[in-house]
A and B are shown apart, each in its own frame.
Chain A
């Protein structure tokens, strides 16, 4: 029987180029820093992916393990570390995983993830009816509203304090907003898992629901949801939403500029900002959150040695927290240690996933330093 790997076939040349490089990005790969196998470097994974495409060999359990050892953070392909080819490693990884799924060789936890996504429309297997049970939402399913606030699964189920803060901001600004009562996942966990067709079906379902709301604008507080709606859907699925899509930080800045909300209180703390991969590297938004923080009275914003496009990942993305939870939290600890070198009072991020990941990692860390981890929306909501 001839085996063909259709998804990798398209990425074959890029994987080949990457596998010939002497690993000039291994030192920034968060996975390669906690898993030392040569096959866990971007180069090693590209080699495996290329072997699949070129030799059409059987997929082994070890190949599967290594090809799921990636957070899709994309630091390896930045201008600094991959200046000539700008290899899109997340695309190679997703293609290889899609072939693994098609071959029926996905890891058990990934198969379970797909089941949960199908049944519960979120990656945590939580009941759909509980999605907003912890959020003080006053407006649901209001048609023709100015803003559709897309909450996202992690914020809804794991970090409700973030949507609660967003709601407070929107209501303070007297914004005509709504949320979708039957909101479903954006599908990024499926894309990263390699279930591309399921992700596409999910996207079509979500987009249909969004369109039926007739809102003027979508605001997402999760960078992954934002990236999916704004970038991935049109690029990979050919699905273009006909309305404006903002990350909450972009929208916050507009509200501040228009004077709809005011930061009334000072924040006399040293803070450090952690760039989430899908807001920073994958969406190019580095300065907006920094500008907002910079406008807070008495705040002292310091920069990490590794920031902006060189910021290390929290370790959660690419379903890595699901397939390799221990290594994933090791990455989070590494990132926290980097951020704590500046001795901040508060670590500010703009991603519910990063916040949740850091809080989980902190439980396993020995640290005598006292500091808070907060989403920027929480800080702003507190200061209004």
Chain B
């Protein structure tokens, strides 16, 4: 419960209509967050979940955000920035209660600068809405993550998100030129949208992926790209995973960047395509001549790796249905089979160098075997020096929340331990760490880096009010 005087002062800042302490409002902010901790709470429909916000506010300007942060400092009350609530890692779960600062009223697209290929947008804009606005000008963000329809720009920046076309356009940090941030003290800072610079470390990276622990991103200047002249698909079937990964490596090291390469492991290939081997779909886009050349080079490399050409139709189908797995349906593997029962999945996406990715993948499979649960994986973000594996681990039906939480925690512990064994593996590739993986960030960074990281937090956020408990802080 927040003190009445604090609620009154928040009302003065944002207006009476832009604040809520209503029980069901707070419940919705708590349990419709997409992390599986929240999902488990939702499945039990526990109306008094362990973690609850005390209040939600809807500021309409950066200045209001700043005033809210200053006030929270005075009262030493936690603040959690909230966008679409789509995170998978519990980044918006209010571990110690506090104020949800919902940024969705910062929803203006401030400037589209076609000549300099950039867009200035506020943080509360939904990704698909920004994409549509740019499409009207013949432009695209190039950012197409699965949360496109429901996530905000602020959220995507705060988790270093990655979209389906990342091979060509990059991850969101690659697309970010400038930022406006409200620091944990309430000061407003602007990081200029320079094309590039040599002025010390690029400070924007302090806030990208910071999940709100170093401040609240209120607007951003992002790169834009021309809508492609051509978008084309091609699918192949590799005999085994090794051949598929080798083909991906050779493609990414050959000097070209197909917009998407999505390689399924044997289990996912059997599940989705009813075929033996490893299915792989490519998306090529851009000027026709480049697409022609990329497709030719890719097919030559696939042939060298013994792949069978499956044509273009399956790829189109994948593109049209690429978000289907996120919809809720009784047929899906995360749908509770009956009232009171719990079923869920986790997605420990990780990236590693080509030296380590295969052993890492098989180590993850061994963890899964230990728990007798099922896993289907794909490799869908590729770089010249490594790739990302996206295992979707489906749990068996569990009878109660306590048991579900126990198994959930144990599996994450084992998976994190496996990832941390590898020199080039990242604890997470594009979902952020929240508190689920944040607990292991000390091991990811090692000493003295993690100590320095904590010192930075102390300097920026002396009262520790910004999204406490996330990123291991």
- Additional A-B contacts beyond A24-B149, A26-B150, A51-B24 (7; CB < 8 A): A19-B32, A22-B328, A27-B150, A54-B45, A60-B23, A62-B24, A84-B331
Rounded to whole angstroms, the CA-CA distance of A21 and B334 in the bound complex is 11
Nearest CB of B to A15, in Å: 11
Contact B22 A84 (CB under 8 A): no
Nearest CB of B to A327, in Å: 11
Contact B104 A22 (CB under 8 A): no
Tell me the chain B residues, 81-138 only, with Cβ under 8 Å from chain A.
Answer: 84-86, 102, 104-105, 107, 124, 126, 128-129, 132, 135-136
Q: A27-B150, A39-B24, A84-B327 are in contact. Are A47 and B32 (CB under 8 A)?
A: yes
Contact A24 B323 (CB under 8 A): yes
Contact B149 A27 (CB under 8 A): yes
Query: Is B410's beta carbon under 8 Å from chain A?
Result: no
Q: List the A side residues contacting B22 at CB < 8 Å.
A: 60, 62
**Nearest chain-B residue to A341 (Cβ)?**
B136
Query: Is B47's beta carbon under 8 Å from chain A?
Result: yes
Q: List the B side residues contacting A24 at CB < 8 Å.
A: 149-150, 323, 326-327
Tell me the chain B residues, 265-324 only, with Cβ under 8 Å from chain A.
Answer: 321, 323-324
Q: Which of A19, A20, A38, A84 contacts B324 (CB 8 A)?
A: A84
Contact B28 A47 (CB under 8 A): yes
Contact A17 B330 (CB under 8 A): yes
Q: Which of A20, A26, A50, A84 contacts B126 (CB 8 A)?
A: A26
Query: Is A239's beta carbon under 8 Å from chain B?
Result: no
Contact B32 A23 (CB under 8 A): yes
Q: List the A side residues contacting B334 at CB < 8 Å.
A: 20
Interface centre among A22, A50, A66, by most chain B C-beta atoms within 10 angstroms, is A22
Contact with B along A49-85 (1 / 0, CB 8 A): 0110011010010110010000000000000011111
Q: Which of A48, A54, A81, A85 contacts B24 (CB 8 A)?
A: A48
Contact B327 A85 (CB under 8 A): yes
Nearest CB of A to B347, in Å: 13
Contact B42 A19 (CB under 8 A): yes
**Nearest chain-A residue to B106 (Cβ)?**
A36
Chain A contributes a number of interface residues (CB within 8 A of B) equal to 36
Rounded to whole angstroms, the CA-CA distance of A185 and B368 in the bound complex is 62
Contact A63 B24 (CB under 8 A): yes
16 contacts between A and B (CB under 8 A): A13-B330, A18-B328, A20-B335, A22-B150, A23-B32, A27-B150, A36-B124, A37-B20, A37-B102, A44-B28, A44-B32, A51-B24, A55-B45, A62-B23, A84-B329, A85-B328
Q: Which 3 A-B pairs have the closest CB atoms?
A: A20-B328, A36-B104, A21-B328
Rounded to whole angstroms, the CA-CA distance of A60 and B27 in the bound complex is 14
Interface centre among A13, A36, A63, by most chain B C-beta atoms within 10 angstroms, is A36
Contact B128 A36 (CB under 8 A): no
Rounded to whole angstroms, the CA-CA distance of A17 and B329 in the bound complex is 6
Interface centre among A21, A55, A81, A341, by most chain B C-beta atoms within 10 angstroms, is A21
Contact A22 B34 (CB under 8 A): yes
Query: Is A111's beta carbon under 8 Å from chain B?
Result: no
Query: Is A349's beta carbon under 8 Å from chain B?
Result: no
Query: Is A215's beta carbon under 8 Å from chain B?
Result: no
Contact A17 B24 (CB under 8 A): no
Query: Is A371's beta carbon under 8 Å from chain B?
Result: no
Contact B105 A83 (CB under 8 A): no
Nearest CB of B to A79, in Å: 11
Query: Is A25's beta carbon under 8 Å from chain B?
Result: yes
Tell me the chain B residues, 52-93 only, with Cβ under 8 Å from chain A.
Answer: 56, 58, 84-86
Contact B84 A23 (CB under 8 A): yes
Query: Is A178's beta carbon under 8 Å from chain B?
Result: no
Nearest CB of B to A12, in Å: 10
Query: Is B147's beta carbon under 8 Å from chain A?
Result: yes
Rounded to whole angstroms, the CA-CA distance of A22 and B155 in the bound complex is 14
Query: Is B39's beta carbon under 8 Å from chain A?
Result: yes
Query: Is B187's beta carbon under 8 Å from chain A?
Result: no
**Nearest chain-B residue to A36 (Cβ)?**
B104
Q: List the A side residues contacting B28 at CB < 8 Å.
A: 37-39, 44, 47-48
